[in-house]
Amino acid sequence: MIHRNVLKNILKFGKREFYEKKPLSLEIRKVNSKTILTRGILPSLNIQQIKGTFYIILVEYTENIRIYSFSQNGTLLGGENLINDPVVIKKILASTKLKYHLKKK
């Protein structure tokens, strides 16, 4: 599937989640690739790896956060609840790029 269509489908899922469950905020983020091998002083060879998750939706509630994982072709891989801890959120934000943001008024 084309990258743009994948993002549109994930956005549609995110908007439906936002308007049905009324969280404080919702962010669609792209997971950064991780460099696993570089060769040379100025890297002439750079091998990068992206594990199964390609996009995440970070849904923030008052007491916890929910993270939905999506593959590269937009398939939902699952979701998990985490405690709303600033250290955990900072780690997630450092390893992802923001693509779309919805915030409660």
Q: What is the pLDDT of residues 17-72, one digit of tens each?
A: 999 999 999 999 998 876 655 566 655 544 455 566 788 899 999 889 999 989 88
What's the domain count of the chain?
Answer: 1
Cβ atoms of residues 53 and 77 within 8 Å: yes
Give the mean pLDDT of 75-79.
88
Residue 78 Cα distances to 31, 44, 46, 67, 98, angstroms = 15, 37, 30, 8, 20
Both tokens of 71, joined, read 């593959």
Residues in the chain, total: 105
H or E element, residue 57 = strand 55-60
Q: What pLDDT, on a 0 to 100 scale, did the predictor assign at position 89?
A: 86
Domain that includes residue 91, residue range: 3-103
